[in-house]
Amino acid sequence: LCNRGWLEKIFVSQDRPCFYDWGEYEWRKARNNDINKLPVDFCYLTTKVFPLLLSRGITPEQITKMTVDNPRRFLGQ
């Protein structure tokens, strides 16, 4: 997408809820379980995604654009 001119439109972010409040789950039973069985990694972007992007030719400046500049512009700050 970056090579096709979409850099100005791309946002990269990571959200992860600590607890899903739906279904028949009680907090005491669900607090240490991930119902989707996903690994808990709050640094996934910085430890996995960004190194992969860099290895494929995306520059640190482009990552900053996607994570800082574009969201700031979109949110009007």
Verdict on whether the full-model pTM lies above 0.85: no
Q: What is the CA radius of gyration of the chain?
A: 17
Please give the Cα distance from 10 to 6 (Å, whole number): 7
For the cut 70, the answer to whether the pLDDT of residue 3 exceeds it is yes
Sign of CA dihedral 9, 10, 15, 21: positive
Asked if 60 and 54 count as a contact pair (C-beta separation under 8 A), the reply is: yes
For the cut 80, the answer to whether the pLDDT of residue 13 exceeds it is yes
Q: How confident is the model at residue 44 (pLDDT cuts 50, 70, 90)?
A: confident
The mean pLDDT of the chain is: 81
